Amino acid sequence: MKKLAFIIIGILFLTACNAEERTRETKLTIEPLQLTEREEKLVKQQPAELQEYFLVNGMLNESDDLKLAVTKIEDGEQTEKMSSYGFLETEYDDYILSTSIYNHSNTEETLVFGSDTSLSSSTIPIPTEFNSFTYGSIISEETSLEKGETYHLAYLQGSSENSMSTPSITPTELKDMKNAELAYIFTISIIDKDHHQR
């Protein structure tokens, strides 16, 4: 009888733990990763021209997922060029994300979105009439990620003008970037896990 009681208690305990796992709240932050001097030297030996690194920390509800994407803006029109989701992790401890740009020629660039467990890339054409470009990180401090909000991590912007100023853009607002001649923005967001299963 005692053995049966212990079994029942064990089942109830496991059920409670599983229920807590399913209902725990998503709490994630992202921040820039500061490389050491040695790491910076190693990065400079890589073929990528421009790279930024970020750290993700926190917990993800089992019903939620991370989505990494690159959005293209051309003359005010926005389109999604690539995206990655289906992350298996629910706990993130200094999980590394990276954004990179590789130059192949005067007419092509490859955008790469990397993480500890995946790598997504897209080769984009660069109009020959574009004379100037600017690239930069947008996240400058630890930022809490809220579900349903898109966060801008880094950008590449081009212009047919001979010079251009640094764009006004925040982690959650495009501001004057939304009217750019041409821009590519690396983003991260929290979505429903079943979003990509529909």
Q: What is the DSSP string of 25-81?
A: PPEEEEEEPPPPHHHHHHHHTSS-SEEEEEEEEEE--TTEEEEEEEEEEETTEEEEE
| Pairwise CA distance, residues 35 & 159, whole Å | 30
| Residue 21 located in a structural domain | no
Q: What confidence score (pLDDT) does residue 117 get?
A: 83
Cβ proximity of 126 and 148 under 8 Å: no
**94, amino acid identity:** D
> What is the pLDDT, as a whole number, of residue 116?
85
- Reduced to 3 states (helix: H, G, I; strand: E, B; else coil), residue 117 is coil
Give pTM, 2 decimals.
0.82
Instruction: Give the model's pLDDT for residue 7.
Output: 52
Domain membership of residue 98 (yes or no) is: yes
Q: Is residue 18 included in any domain, yes or no? A: no
For residue 39, what are the domain limits?
26-197
Give the DSSP letter of residue 180: -
User: How far is 110 from 156, CA to CA, in rounded Å?
Assistant: 11
Distance CA 166, CA 161 (A): 13
Check residue 12 and give its pLDDT. Answer: 45
Q: Is residue 7 part of a domain?
A: no
Total domains in the fold of the chain: 1
pLDDT, mean of each 10-residue run, the chain (198 residues): 51 49 79 88 74 94 94 92 89 94 80 87 84 88 95 92 82 90 94 71
Q: How many Cα atoms are found within 13 Å in the side-chain-facing hemisphere of 190?
A: 22
Query: Is 15 contained in some domain?
Result: no
pLDDT value at residue 23: 58
Given this model, what pLDDT does residue 53 score?
A: 93
Residue 121 inside a domain? The answer is yes
CA dihedral (113, 152, 70, 129) in degrees, to 10, reads -110
| Contact yes or no for 192/61 (Cβ under 8 A) | no
